[in-house]
Every structure is written in C-alpha cells, then in structure tokens.
Chains A and B, each alone.
Chain A
Amino acid sequence: DTEVTQTPKHLVMGMTNKKSLKCEQHMGHRAMYWYKQKAKKPPELMFVYSYEKLSINESVPSRFSPECPNSSLLNLHLHALQPEDSALYLCASSQVSGRGYNEQFFGPGTRLTVL
C-alpha cells in the first residue's frame, strides 16, 4: 500500500468549533508531516513527527495541536481557528534513514474553511 489517506476531504468550521484532521499511512514510514498550503503557494511545513515523537514545530500557533497516536496515524486538532487559517492541509510521510529523510509521500489534503 503506497498511499497516504486524509479525512475529511473538506471541512467547514466556525471560529469557536473544535475539529480534527486525520492522516493515515501503511507504508511503514516512521516520519510524518503536516503542511499548510495557501492557493498558488508552496506547502509550508507545520510539524514533523519522527518515531511518534514531535521533532519539529515551525512556530505554529497553539490553536493547532498535533498528535501521533501510533506509527501509522497522525492527527491535527483544531480549536478557535481564525479565517486566515483557511487553507489546504497536507499530510505526508517518509522513511527515516541514516542519511536523513527521504522523499515524502503526500496525501490528497483536507480543504479547510474557517467562517
């Protein structure tokens, strides 16, 4: 299975809502990533998990809370978001090797709209 899945595909939420994005991979990868992508821009890295531990947090506001329950799952919990947080949220995974990190495989993304 060479696929990264993300649910939901679309999400509309109010600024007071709490919601979660889910990402799953079954490629045996031990690194997982969250990116935020605005229209016509490259993805911006938010978080990196390596062996289920948070290894990179790119100074993301605390209203975004990542969680890695096991090596196959990655969640992004959302609370009190702002309209400017509306974007495509991409999940990715990769192997971890002695030479660093290899190519990342991306999921289809969740299109988030914050009203």
Chain B
Amino acid sequence: AQTVTQSQPEMSVQEAETVTLSCTYDTSESDYYLFWYKQPPSRQMILVIRQEAYKQQNATENRFSVNFQKAAKSFSLKISDSQLGDAAMYFCAYTGTASKLTFGTGTRLQVTL
C-alpha cells in the first residue's frame, strides 16, 4: 500500500518570504501522480500543483514549484513571495493505478506580516 508522510504539522512564513513544505511517499509503482492541495479555512480543496512521475522536470505554477526526487521518493512544495492568502492547510497526495488519492496528514501554513 502507498503511504504519504508530511512531517511538518505546522509551518510559519513571513509575507514575501519563501517557505518549503516537505512530503515523502512510499510506493512500489513506477507510474503515478503527485499533487499538492490547498485547503483554506473556507474548506474548499484546491489543486495547487501536480507532478507526473515519468516527467523529470519539476512542475511550476506561478509562485509554486516542486522539488521532485523520484529515487528518494520526495516531493516538496516551495512557495515563493508568500502572501496572506497562502495561509491554509496543505495536503500532499498520491495517486497511482488504483483510483484513490492517498493524502498526507497535512501541514498548516501560517503567513505573518
């Protein structure tokens, strides 16, 4: 079975600074997707970024980028130029050949002035 681990329950970053959220996963599959979802207090789960395992290039979406290390099974999210609206719970998630998303336990990100 696949597992996803987020070892940082909470993180804090100052506005305009950069923060990195960590995620590791375990799988025996070679073809899979990884995602970062954001869930603000308004509770809507929003897809931030996705990475396909067979693509070596790290995904980037505006201020959000990932560091995907397939051999190390690591998938960290970097948020640059942090904004107050980035404050939320961030979930790392995995999906492979099964029709399931496996979520990590989440990292709550606070953004301070």
Interface positions of A (Cβ within 8 A of B): 31, 40-43, 45, 48, 50, 55-56, 88, 90, 92, 96, 99-109, 111
Contacts and interface: CB of A to CB of B under 8 A. Distances in A.
Contacts of B100: 45, 48, 56, 101
Contacts, number: 58
Nearest to B92: A42
Given A42-B106, A48-B100, 7 more contacts: A40-B108, A43-B45, A56-B99, A90-B45, A102-B33, A106-B37, A106-B46
Contact of B45 (A55, A96, A106): A106
B112 to A, nearest CB: 20
Contacts of B91: 42
A56 B44 CA distance: 23
Contacts of A102: 33, 95
Query: Chain B: interface residue count, which band?
Result: 20 to 34
Given A41-B105, A42-B91, A42-B105, A101 B99 contact: yes
B31 interface: yes
Interface in B67-113: 89, 91, 95-101, 103-106, 108
